[in-house]
Amino acid sequence: MNLPISGTVYGVLLNFHGEVQALEPQMNQPPYKAAPRAPILYVKPANTWSAHGAAIPVPARVPQVEVGATIAMVMGRDVQAARSSDAIDSVAGYVLMNDLSIPHASFFRPPVKFKCLDGFLGVGPQLRAAAEAGDPAGFALEVHVNGVLKQSLRFADLVRNASQLLADVSAFMTLHAGDVLMLGCGPGRPLAQAGDRIDISAPGFATLSNTLAPEGSAA
């Protein structure tokens, strides 16, 4: 599999204002009891990575999957305790991602069983160089399922912009060259099922397309 990523891939929850607003009524209730104080991260291990164009297997027990379209930062050098003012300088480039999950309501426990199925992370075909991409706050993307527009995201709506996210994450762990940090997946995530085609497109980026296939069928 030829992918423009190599290191550890980290996703982030609740980094779009719309996601936070949707969950706010529950944030002070059990099991959460308080709003999060730091970025909520998760790992998409290597078994989840799928190339552009690949058919992603969906187990028969899973009627629908949730599409988590996002743009991810790929680190060009090690980042430790970065300042928000210059953290963005350590990004080598950006790549589209299709972060699939089995729908689940609770964010109390790590959702490994819901997020780490084989193939459940589509990775865009190309890295877009940071120098060319400019400020990530200007990014926008669209998700089409079977050619129908299902979601539009503007990365000006982030809770932590790219630099702040890098600063807040690198305050407690090092991101190494080659590691990947997603910017967030946004509210209103589309659902899709086996047989569907998912296209994630963003101005300046090569489109990421994957199909969902029943597990066990030929890719």
Residues in contact with another protein by CB under 8 A are 7-8, 10, 13, 31-34, 36-38, 40-43, 45-48, 59, 80, 107-113, 116-118, 172-176, 179
Written as one letter, the residue type at 26 is Q
What 3-state class would DSSP assign to 162? helix
Q: Of 109, 88, 64, which is closest to residue 181 (Cα–Cα)?
A: 88
| Residue 205 Cβ vs another protein, minimum distance, rounded to whole Å | 25
Residue with Cβ nearer another protein (12 or 162)? 12
Residue with Cβ nearer another protein (114 or 205)? 114
| Residue 10 Cβ vs another protein, minimum distance, rounded to whole Å | 7
| Residue 201 Cβ vs another protein, minimum distance, rounded to whole Å | 29
Residue with Cβ nearer another protein (106 or 146)? 106
| Residue 11 Cβ vs another protein, minimum distance, rounded to whole Å | 10
Instruction: Answer whether 210's CB lies under 8 Å from 67's CB.
Output: no
Rounded Cα distance between 156 and 162, Å, is 10
Instruction: Answer whether 151's CB lies under 8 Å from 190's CB.
Output: yes
Instruction: Answer whether 193's CB lies under 8 Å from 213's CB.
Output: no
Rounded Cα distance between 187 and 151, Å, is 9
Residue with Cβ nearer another protein (110 or 195)? 110
Instruction: Answer whether 136's CB lies under 8 Å from 162's CB.
Output: yes
| Residue 100 Cβ vs another protein, minimum distance, rounded to whole Å | 13
Whole-angstrom CA distances from 114 to 27, 48, 99, 119, 217 are 21, 11, 11, 12, 21
Residue with Cβ nearer another protein (176 or 197)? 176
Residue with Cβ nearer another protein (81 or 137)? 81
What 3-state class would DSSP assign to 122? strand
| Residue 42 Cβ vs another protein, minimum distance, rounded to whole Å | 6
